[in-house]
Amino acid sequence: MATTAHGMDKTKLKDEERDVLRPNGKTLPDDPQYDLHLYRGLWLLSGSVKMMPKVAKMRARPDDIVVASFPKSGTTWMQAIVQLIMYRTLGTITRVGLSENDWCFLDLAHNADPMPIDLLDEQMSPRLIKTHLPWDLLPKSIVEKKCKMIYVYRNPKDVMVSLYHFCKNVPEVIHSCPHETFEEFVQAFLKDRVIYAPYFENIASFWQHRGDANVLFVAYEDMSSKPQETISRVANFLGEPLDKETLDMIVRKTSFGEMKKSENVKRIIRRSSIAQSLAPRKPDGTNFHFLRCGKTEEWRKEFSPELAATADKWVTENLAAAQLAGFSF
């Protein structure tokens, strides 16, 4: 019996949903206002769950480049850095990040036909791939081909703030998390009841591979405080050392102000039936800025002292896990 993020057991299914999900041993809850489902220990939108068979069969190439993270940890920022290092160009930033004309978002939950993952075989190398999946749900071919993977992480309180505003304003994900109040959202986050949770398990799954030659860990805070050093580190990892002129160009083009010029959040992605059903009574996302702030420690403006203390206790307890030995924010 499936369990929703509200802890309620649901069994009533649409026939087509039952057929798609039965092989995974999970079922979709009959909850039109909260589209979040447990898949192999990970909370995903129903569209992402249905994508997983395709994700598992994805055929990687040895020179594929993967940017991975928990959502709202600096993924799009790192994508921009990687794309400029490899191709010296930067595409449009939409409500789900950089254009899927340039990047394949592996686990993107929408009903486009064809899906970005369906077009991967046609793309020239090196292909650029984005994911929020933990290590154990990555396509086996990415691991076997030892594709270069850049994992981005961020102060979890800043992640909470950014994800709250994102889920509250973007139709494609507005049904993925409780967001009536910020405190309600944080409490759900701390209980691992938001999209792509559990949060620390995502980090730990990659941290176990930090010593692998094809894995690089990058902190959002380093991208903000020392962009030249961080971009050079990424470029060297990718085997593309930069001269000073190119490095300065990438630092300039990946600044918050310059990236805002590439933002086009009015672009609409084809939405799931659930998102469409919610559209008349939810924001349409056209006034939402995907690149909302771009600063560190913005959590101080949103968290009450009591809520911050609760979150800090949660962070401390989770960092004590053996799987995260040596890791810190």
From start to end of 124-225, where are the E strands? 128-131, 148-153, 215-219
Residue 83 tokens, joined: 């794309």
Note the pLDDT of residue 19.
Answer: 34
Note the pLDDT of residue 260.
Answer: 73
The closest alpha carbon to 313, from 323, 302, 305, belongs to 305
CA angle (271, 274, 276) in 5-degree steps: 50
Burial of 76 from C-beta contacts in 10 A (0-12 / 13-18 / 19+) = buried
Note the pLDDT of residue 295.
Answer: 64
- Integer Cα distance of 267 and 97 in angstroms: 11
Note the pLDDT of residue 7.
Answer: 33
- Integer Cα distance of 216 and 109 in angstroms: 26
Note the pLDDT of residue 177.
Answer: 79
Residue 204 tokens, joined: 């730990």
Q: List the chain pLDDT tens, one digit each, 329 residues.
A: 233 333 322 333 333 333 334 333 343 344 456 678 889 999 998 889 988 999 999 999 999 999 999 999 999 999 999 999 999 988 777 766 776 778 999 998 766 667 778 888 999 999 999 999 999 999 999 999 999 999 999 999 999 999 998 888 877 787 787 778 999 999 999 999 899 999 999 999 999 999 999 999 999 999 999 999 999 999 999 999 999 999 999 999 999 888 877 665 444 333 333 333 334 334 444 454 545 555 677 899 999 999 999 999 999 999 999 999 999 99
Note the pLDDT of residue 4.
Answer: 36
Note the pLDDT of residue 32.
Answer: 53
Record the pTM: 0.83
Note the pLDDT of residue 110.
Answer: 64
- Integer Cα distance of 258 and 261 in angstroms: 5
- Integer Cα distance of 200 and 13 in angstroms: 31
Note the pLDDT of residue 37.
Answer: 87
Give the DSSP letter string of 259-277. HHTTB-TTPPPPPPHHHHH
The CATH superfamily assigned to 57-324 is P-loop containing nucleotide triphosphate hydrolases (3.40.50.300)
> CA 222, 218, 104, 107 torsion: positive or negative?
negative
Amino acid letter, residue 177? C
Domains of the chain, residue spans: 57-324
User: Alpha carbon of 43 to those of 163, 172, 206, 268, 299: distances in Å?
Assistant: 15, 15, 18, 24, 24
Coil, helix or strand at residue 204: helix
Note the pLDDT of residue 157.
Answer: 97
What contacts 58, CB < 8 A, 6 or more positions away?
106, 117, 120, 139, 141, 142
Residue 312 tokens, joined: 């800090």
3: left (phi > 0), else alpha (psi -120 to 50), else beta?
beta
Residue 266: phi and psi, rounded to 5, are -75, -15
Residue 20: phi and psi, rounded to 5, are -70, -40
Note the pLDDT of residue 112.
Answer: 64
23-37 burial, b at 16+ Cβ within 10 Å, e below that, comes to eeebbbbebeebbbb
In which residue are the tokens 């090196």 written?
A: 126
Q: Are 135 and 217 in contact (CB under 8 A)?
A: no
